[in-house]
Structure 1
Amino acid sequence: MNDWLRTAAKARDDIFSSSLDVSTHSSSVVRPTVYESWRRSRLQGLAPEAVSPVEFSEIELDNYLSRTVTSIVEKRAAALDQSACALVLTDRDGNLLRRWVRDHEMAADLDTKGVAAGFTMDESTVGTTGLVTLLTGRPELIRGPEHFSEKFKQYSCASAPVVHPVRRTLLGSVSLICRVADTTPLMLSWVTDLITAVEEALRARACQREQRLFEAYTTYNRDVRHPIVALDMTTIITNAAAARLLGGVDQTLLWEHARRSLRERRSGPTSLTLPNGEVLSVDCCPLSGQDTDAGAILFLRKGSAPRRKTEAGVLPKPSVLLPGLVGRSEKWRSLCCQAHRLRNGTSPVLVVGEPGSGRLAVAEALQDAQAIRVVDAIDAAALGDGRWVQHLHVQLEEPTCVLVIRHVDSLEPSTAVATLAALRRTPPARLLATAQRRSGEPAAHNALLDHFESVLEVPPLRERLDDFPDLLARFSEQVSGAKNSIEWTPEVVQALTRLEWPGNLNSLKTLVRRTVTGSCATKIGTDDLPPEYVARAARRQLATLEQIEAQTILQALREAGGNKHQAALALGIARSTLYRKIRALGLDLSASIY
């Protein structure tokens, strides 16, 4: 063993001191798997003496995989108690979920090296470790100097991938770590035996889960005339009535709608807009009160969700609510119902909401009068009270003037009082204003805000997901100048609803302008979107650095015409690494055409 260590260490030094341009090696000591991992690590700019695991606070440590493996490890606790070894569980991205170690000295040393739950040790972070198994898909034993990092040279690591026995997707890995002197080929046998037990447990749980889903379906499917769906993230069961209603709707669309309802603990029916524009009313019943991934039963009905009664009666049809504005979501319809009662009146109305949510458009839609004057209260600070009041008087010279004051909440207290006095001396036919929604009372009192009898709150874009098809069509028409000439595919609409829109409608319109301007396409697919939007629309929420990485990968794929091998070469990583990163980042390339 000592001879091999010396020989391997020398070969390692020789290879690390050689040029990266050397694509092959002739050493019989360094295995091809290890050499290729070393080369990829160096191509990614890693240095053996400088790498270290990185803490990743957003990892969900107690997940489905972690609970399953823990139950299996507990049955083998005696074997760990009698050995100076550590057992490590990671997810498919190389993030450490659990660690079991009885040797206190080893535990302390691993802690100092960052080999602990909550840290990531993927190849792009620390270079070659036993986690190379996540790339090769087979059990791997990395001994001492075969590790890329200097920190891990005194350890050996036997690892094997965990693959879901039903879906055949990579879930993570299990690694057995020991000191180099204690290395034995039996380590791999012990790990693979453990993996077999884990996959059998996963198979049993999958069967139980599907059985529970089927039992729930049969329990609720008493009347086949009523459309119902039983589903989780991997399985969907529908009766004939639901199948006719849904047609070829993607299961992901239904599951994301269900998960959002479960996570937000919504009660009562919600509306779901299908890709063909039809609106369904959906009642969502969870299969488990604790686990949102356990599945749900969906009760479907044609048409929008039940309309709420108002003081004026039943909610009017969307087409007669606010002229020039579009939307079909429940929150938008509720706003329009309130606005409908205030249209063409005389009472002052304040429209509040987040920046970019369309407050000014709602305010202007409240009145059909031709003489609508819009002033911005932000200008008052630069003009001063005297010139600001004079500016108002100029706007109010027309007796039938409807005045809209934007950003009225930005007025200083003294300016607000002067504005109110000017409006009382020369009242407009109607006063409307916009302001930003605030969570608490403003620091300084604004007397003008007390003047408004009614307040309308415009919902942010994140609460109007069902409005995306209508908004995209309207903004495309405004940008291109042609009505109904551009179609946004259901895949794009679904992807965009997963994004955060801090600028609300302004952000969405910016995307439409970037996508449509200069393009001859009449149908917009995911491949037409700017790469950063596709990256942000990944299935899971990405951190900032992950978004940058995803954007870089998508740009490389686009420049390579979709050729993953060429894209990997351009990025300086192996093709297997590229595949893993695509999976890890949740990028959906199935609908992209390069």
Structure 2
Amino acid sequence: MTTTDASPAATTARPSLRVARERFLSGRPLPQGVPEEVVAAWRRARFFGVPHDLEESVVSPPLSGESTLLGAARPVLDRIVPALGVGGSLLVLTDERLRVLWTAGSVPGLGVCTGLSEQEVGHNSAALALRTRSRAEVHGPEHFLDRWQDVSAVSVPVLGPENGHVLGTLTVASRLCTAGPPHPQAAFAEATVAAVETELRARAGRGERALLDAYMRAARGPDRAVAALDGRNRLVSDAAQRLLTPEVLGVLERTAADARHRDVTGVVRLPEGAGCTARVTPVRLDGRTIGIVTALEPLDDPAPAAPAPRPPVTLTGSSVPWRHAVGRAAELMRSREPLLLTGERGTGKSALARELFGPDPVQVADAARDAGLDQALSAWRPDGLLLLRHAERLAQPGVAALNSLLDQHPDTRLLVTHTPGAPAGPCLQRLLDRLSARSVTLPPLRERTEDIRELLPALTPPPGARTTPADLDPGRPARARGVPVARERHRAGPCRAGPRGAPAGHRAGPPRGAAGRRPGRTGRPPAQPDGARRARGDPGGAAPPRRQQGTHGGRARDRPGHAVPQAAGVPALRRGPRPGLRRGRGDAQQLGRAEKISTRPS
């Protein structure tokens, strides 16, 4: 915007704003044609609780030290103060929060202010310029305060040379301008801001040059480890790159930020295992600290890094995701606070929970069987260990009881297992959100395929254990998803050996007979695989179903309706009469019809 452009707030022809302002303050309807931005500014002032008859502004706390903007603007302002004249204009410099940094000149009826924010004094040109990032003017009755009704002001924002952020505003206030916009001293304000921004660019380059000079002086010599930092720039030598770790670099960055407020000269305390020492020297410019230069010295005999201790958990698995999850869970269990274990079904949440508790007695609460936790919490002692399984199946009374327990005993050693997937109610979701700060997600087997080789031997049941044909299927163990196996135990993670301890897909009982009944109920042996296919008419069978001979009163009769397949090498069994058939003349007719049906070509 040039100086010949009119202010956006003063381009519209409007009725007397004095009358409109009086009607606004008295609560009466406003006349037509009042600019909406002016009415909105008055409403904001009323919302902030600014009294229109304010005589003195609220005193703000004094600013600590001299700001960068004031340091760059002071030489420019000192040169232009004589041009203001006596009793003609007031020049005000504010920071990005509209706190007054510097004033010069005077205007009759305009007192000294410590802040120009809308929360303190209502609508004014400085607040408008800060919001619009451009030159803004406010004249007479556009102000909210009574004592500024005869004042015209123009404000220009001061932008930073690096990122373009608003660093503050420069305001020129004078008597009310009767000629209308633009303000007579708008060009003067813009020229002053341009000079201040030029000084800021020059000072920004000076600080970087000062930091570079300090780095070059410290880096003289063969293979010296030196780093220079100021919070925005970082200069690091090749030798320092070999010594700096992310943790050490973070400590030095925080030291550079603290150097602007306190003396940090000397040796800086680095994290354990840094392998070096750091001596800090502040970098000063114009009496102010702008950064630090750090000289790094490697330790003479750095102690070898101790290997990371293996988590005190004996569950099978050496993959990185599994070791990371187990290590994180073991670390969180060191403090007496609740822990949440989440993961898919079969990932070993309960097995890991028991391993984390160790040999201490644990009170187990299963929400799948006791959704209200009535039985578990009644037997629980405040100083005991509590394992809550299947938290996703908790009923609302159980969630309320658990929340009450955590409120009364926040240091309870509680471990909760949760399987995501089912929709959670609002009460349960709040409980999970409360425990999410200390939660560990166990990875499924598809994310730790390198553990399959270790899990397969452990999944094999011990000698003498009862197994089923499903357990002996070579493809079954691959379906166990991430089941961690406890060493020195006869169980594989949460699944114990045998048909009852197998997962849901493995709990196949003994094979059924051809007629659908289990062996032992009718005294007949189980059907063989080939015979079963022949019995149900499977085309893959080798021969059509054959009829078995039965005895009835010393005579052999065909029983095609209940034929039992005969495997190779197994003699045919003789059975008694079918219980469902009656003896008499109708028996032969029934058998004859059954024989005709069975011998009919298919």
Give me the TM-score of the superposition, normalised by structure 1.
Answer: 0.46
Q: Which has the higher helix share?
A: 1
Structure showing greater radius of gyration is: 2
| Bigger RCO of structures 1 and 2 (CA < 8 A, at least 6 apart) | 1
Give me the TM-score of the superposition, normalised by structure 2.
Answer: 0.45
